[in-house]
Amino acid sequence: MGLFGFTRQSKVDAQIAEVRREVRAAHKTGYLQGVRNFNAASESRLLSDWKTQETQIQQLIKNGFVPVRERARELERNNDTAKRFLKLGRTNIVNQTTMTGFTLQPWARELSASGELVEFPQDDQKITSAWEDWAKPENASVNGQHSLRGILDMTVKYLLRDGEAFLRIVRRKKMKYGLCLQIIPPELVDESYNARLEGGNIVQLGVEYDVDRRPIAYWLKVKRPEAEVIAGFTSSWQRERVDASEMIHLYDPDFVNQARGISWMVQSMVNMHYLGKYDFAALVNATISASKMFWITNDKELAGSEGWVGQGKDGEGNTVADAEAGSGEELAPGQDVVTWDPKYPDAQHEMFSRTLTRKTSSGLGISYASLSGDLSQANYGSNRVGMVDEREYWKLAQQMMIEKLLLRLYPVWLEMAWLKNLIQIESPYAARYQSPLFIGRIWGWIDPESDMNTKKEGLNCGLETLTQSLAEKGIRLEEQLKEIKTERDLAKKMGIELDFSTSGAQKQAQNQAAKTAPANGAAKGEPKNGVLTHTN
């Protein structure tokens, strides 16, 4: 290349470098964001504190889930908002009116060789009765202190507060059903144990996985009895490997291959913490303000040598004075009263607290009215929308309990009850027993009359089916129809007429019309006493 060509190439390179510098500068200033980048990906100085580094979820969980768990427990102890959230979860996920927590419908049925659906109602009754008997505290829990409802209730508390719950399926021959449950606190699953084992398995945060990321075992911390008696320090812990078939790990993962759960309150914990401190400071300030404190000042040039003497001295030598309504006291020359009146909380306190509570309720996934108990800002429409969304949130938690806990537990329990000869059925492994239905808490309608009429209109127009309507209550159509038939057959046998096709108001009007009609009847279509009679 000649000198001329080299000079021309150098100019081109310089121009290209200049263009690149301008493009980089434009990106930094946000000039080209709308063309070549997302606003959220901008690296402007206003977003410089917004992290963009890629982080592995396991590392996030490892570094943060233990501090989050302990702070969530502290909030439960001392924060009324956190306590309210946990109470709402327990009462909305688990049915607190039954010992089983979730109602079981075994629904034993199978297809015959001809393709007809054959049901086994006697087996349903046997299984249901045995399940309710096993749910008693002496049968369901390893320590004999918790019913199945109590176990599920505590599991929900661990799930919402700590982000995860562990249950161990314990087989004991001495137990009536040979099977019971043990609640394992999350801190006993050794999160400090991370290793690569022989054979290719890995342990992450105390959970052992195979090459397909299936949980194989859980490593629990167990105290050595002799060390516990002597010292009980952390060094006294040993690890016990428990097969995954004996453990139920309940948590809601946010990422694929997430090993441990994080508190459901994590997004709102900072708000709850500072709102609690803010309310406490406002309460202290209001208490001080209500006390109306004052000071006595002395002008050394005018005041006497003794200063303000009051009405005496307290045990520590401080001057004190009694204050009564309508009373006063003469001060010495050179003395003056200085009052201190901190006017707080002011009018903005309620609005500020309400705003933070709304943000907290949004992060927790429930309505502001439910979390705060404040219905002053709610009307029928807003309250209805909030409750519908909130109930869907609780249904999500209910379904998680059913899929990950109850449906895993049920076949194991059925097998053990059958082996113990407590259920007289053909075989617990038959296909007819493998489709049970579990129903958690069911909510009533917000406006029963309006909602019932809406259901009726939907059924009449074909926009909804009976199966869909009953499924919202956890009821199967076949069961509903059977119960209706049984009730009507029984009423007919006892000489009672059941007629729910006409409302009470309509029946009253019809009875009144019958009383006011002439004994001999009236002409067809002729009004009598304001009532139009008609006969066929």
pLDDT digits (tens, 9 = 90+) for 3-29: 445 455 677 677 777 777 766 766 555
Q: Please report which confidence band the pLDDT of residue 374 belongs to, taking 50, 70 and 90 as the band edges.
A: confident
Distance from the Cα of residue 214 to its chain's centroid = 27
Q: Both ends of the chain: CA-CA distance in Å?
A: 114
What pTM does this model have? Answer: 0.75
How many CA atoms lie within 13 Å of 270's alpha carbon, on the beta-carbon side? 1
Decide: helix, strand or coil at residue 159: helix
Pairing of strands 294-298, 202-204: unpaired
User: pLDDT averaged over the chain?
Assistant: 82
Q: Give 132-151 as a DSSP string.
A: HHHTSHHHHBTTS---HHHH
Q: Please report which confidence band the pLDDT of residue 403 belongs to, taking 50, 70 and 90 as the band edges.
A: very high
Euclidean distance between CA atoms 165 and 67, whole angstroms: 17
**Whether 20 contacts 32, CB under 8 Å:** no
**Whether 398 contacts 441, CB under 8 Å:** yes
Structure tokens belonging to residue 473: 């209550």
Euclidean distance between CA atoms 360 and 170, whole angstroms: 39
Structure tokens belonging to residue 89: 């979860």
The lowest-confidence range among 51-55, 395-399, 408-412, 529-533 is 529-533
> What integer pLDDT is reported at residue 505 of this predicted model?
55
101 Cβ neighbours under 8 A, 6+ residues apart: 94, 95, 135, 148, 149, 151, 152, 153, 440
**Whether 380 contacts 447, CB under 8 Å:** yes
Give which of 294, 290, 289, 288 is closest to 328, Cα–Cα: 294
Answer yes or no: is pLDDT of 503 > 50. Answer: yes
Angle between helices 80-93 and 348-364 (to 10 degrees): 40
How many CA atoms lie within 13 Å of 158's alpha carbon, on the beta-carbon side? 21
Strand partners, 166: 184, 249
337: which DSSP letter?
E
